[in-house]
């Protein structure tokens, strides 16, 4: 493990803007304005901006989580193929992981219960509040919680549970806490926990709350927010070299406090084989994003299974590209960045974000 506890850098600042799990998609319109990234613990100073950055991501994620919080992959025969690479700690994972054998079987994260449909019995607002109180287990932080909802989405319903010190989401059928984010600000800057220490803190938190992460691949990234920073510890599930829509994230302050927790999951079945190889996908991404740039650099590439709100899934190459810009005076500079999705079946490239 490389300890990245040092001065902020431009690339890390770019990655911290609420893009697709900090790895590629731009911030999206927020259909649920009351939803922010949730947590157990304290958020660092500058959290107002951080909270806003996470809002778009969590809104989309809630749709997926509420569809499937407890459903297994639709293709039952795929269970043995969802094995992940052996758990390891990396910094800002950006390379395709080592494929695993189809015979290996990952232990899936525990799922609450099936999510809401039009006819499902829903928990009450009081029960949603009680679920958050039990999860947080600190009466000084939960004495004024109010549940709003349940709010419908294309795939289910959920409660927004908010108070002076926290904001959370609760599945309206299972009553399970999906995410928690503490809104108290605590200044954090300078030196703090190392990446290894942050991983240990995150693992202890998940274990304490009975959240399994067996068979998932671990990564850690230092998120810079200008004057403050924090650690983002993530567990992702893979099928061979394909990143699946199933992950857990824990945010850790430099002081070693858990300030956020969220579980992101969508229904999926066995991913198809890629018809476009990585080199072809990267060439297509460069052509789509920077056709006239004097120089380009591939920052990261990941084969990913994506599922939309209607349950349609597709296999894409997520490619992050940097382009050099010709300056009026002096040499070209690497100051343009783009995130591109390349369809792994057709090779069609779509620029989904620039910065």
240 and 168 within one domain: yes
Is the pTM above the cut of 0.85? no
Calculate mean pLDDT across residues 312-335: 93
Q: Higher confidence at residue 235 or residue 37? A: 235
Report residue 83 as tokens: 């094995």
65 and 30 within one domain: yes
339 and 286 within one domain: yes
235 and 128 within one domain: yes
Find the range with the poorest average confidence among 99-113, 142-156, 175-189: 99-113
Q: Facing residues of 239 across strands?
A: 242
Measured CA to CA, the distance from residue 322 to residue 227 in angstroms comes to 25
Measured CA to CA, the distance from residue 28 to residue 339 in angstroms comes to 14
Report residue 155 as tokens: 């795939």
Cα end-to-end distance, the chain, whole Å: 29
pLDDT band at 117 (very low <50, low <70, confident <90, very high): very low
pLDDT in tens, 172-182: 988 989 899 98
Measured CA to CA, the distance from residue 221 to residue 301 in angstroms comes to 17
205 and 313 within one domain: no
Of 35, 354, 30, 45, which Cα lies nearest the Cα of 189? 45
pLDDT for 132: 96
Per-residue b/e over 47-67, b at no fewer than 16 CB within 10 Å? beebbebbbbbbbbbbbbbbb
pLDDT band at 157 (very low <50, low <70, confident <90, very high): confident
Which residues contact residue 207 at a Cβ distance below 8 angstroms, ignoring those fewer than 6 apart?
none
Q: Is residue 3 part of a domain?
A: no
Domain span at residue 33?
Answer: 10-265
């Amino acid at each position: 493990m490389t300890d990245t506890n040092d001065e902020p850098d431009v690339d890390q600042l770019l990655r911290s803007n609420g893009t697709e799990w900090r790895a590629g998609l731009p911030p999206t319109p927020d259909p649920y304005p009351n939803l922010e990234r949730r947590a157990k613990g304290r958020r660092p100073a500058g959290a107002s901006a951080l909270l806003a950055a996470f809002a778009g991501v969590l809104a989309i994620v809630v749709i997926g989580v509420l569809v499937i919080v407890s459903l297994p992959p639709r293709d039952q025969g795929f269970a043995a193929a969802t094995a992940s690479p052996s758990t390891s700690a990396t910094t800002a994972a950006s390379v395709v992981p080592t494929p695993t054998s189809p015979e290996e079987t990952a232990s899936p994260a525990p799922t609450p219960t099936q999510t809401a449909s039009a006819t499902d019995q829903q928990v009450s607002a009081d029960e949603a509040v009680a679920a958050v109180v039990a999860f947080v287990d600190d009466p000084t932080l939960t004495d004024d919680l109010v549940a709003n909802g349940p709010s419908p989405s294309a795939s289910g319903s959920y409660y927004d549970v908010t108070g002076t010190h926290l904001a959370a989401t609760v599945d309206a059928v299972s009553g399970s806490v999906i995410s928690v984010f503490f809104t108290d600000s605590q200044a954090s800057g300078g030196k703090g926990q190392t990446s290894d220490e942050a991983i240990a803190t995150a693992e202890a938190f998940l274990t304490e709350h009975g959240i399994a992460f067996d068979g998932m691949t671990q990564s850690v990234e230092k998120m810079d927010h200008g004057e403050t920073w924090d650690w983002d510890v993530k567990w992702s599930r893979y099928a061979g070299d394909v990143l699946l829509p199933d992950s857990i994230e824990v945010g850790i302050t430099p002081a070693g406090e858990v300030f956020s927790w969220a579980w992101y999951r969508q229904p999926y079945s066995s991913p198809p084989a890629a018809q476009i190889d990585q080199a072809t996908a990267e060439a297509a991404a460069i052509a789509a994003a920077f056709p006239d740039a004097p120089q380009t650099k591939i920052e990261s590439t990941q084969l990913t299974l994506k599922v939309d709100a209607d349950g349609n899934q597709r296999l894409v190459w997520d490619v992050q590209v940097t382009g050099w810009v010709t300056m009026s005076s002096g040499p070209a500079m690497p100051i343009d960045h783009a995130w591109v999705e390349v369809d792994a079946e057709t090779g069609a490239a779509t620029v989904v974000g620039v910065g």
